[in-house]
Amino acid sequence: MTIGDYPKEYDASKHGPYDPARYYGKADTPFGQVKLVELPAWFARRNKSPAAFAGLCSRAYWRWQHRFMQPRKVGMAGFYQSLFACMTFFYVINYARITSHKNYKYH
């Protein structure tokens, strides 16, 4: 699969219009329903390639978009989530500068 192509599992006649938030591969047991004994086998069945991870991130992004940013009546939840993500990102990249300004109490 190259960038911009449909997934190889997608069939327009069977699935209808393409939805970027849907996984078109073979369905597996959801993570929340996996027992501890079955966990190693469940992880072994996962595709661990960089392309699979990019697809996972893309599907998560589009699910978030469809739920919070693209409905007809958009609430403030998507805006607040974006704001919190930006604040967290800038805190992490500036952490080294912030830690040097700690106030110490000397006895």
In a domain, 3, yes or no: no
Terminal CA-CA length for the chain = 64
Q: Who's near 78: CB < 8 A, 6+ residues apart?
A: 64, 68, 69
**Domain, as residue range, for 59:** 12-99
In a domain, 68, yes or no: yes
In a domain, 106, yes or no: no
pLDDT at 107: 63
In a domain, 5, yes or no: no
pTM over 0.85: no
In a domain, 4, yes or no: no
In a domain, 27, yes or no: yes
pLDDT at 104: 72
Q: Please check the confidence at residue 103 and state whether its pLDDT lies above 80.
A: no
Structural domain count, the chain: 1
Q: Largest Cα–Cα distance in the chain?
A: 76
Q: Give the integer Cα–Cα distance in Å for 87 and 42.
A: 35
In a domain, 46, yes or no: yes
Confidence label for 1 from pLDDT (cuts 50, 70 and 90): low
Q: Please check the confidence at residue 59 and state whether its pLDDT lies above 70.
A: yes
Mean pLDDT of 64-90: 95
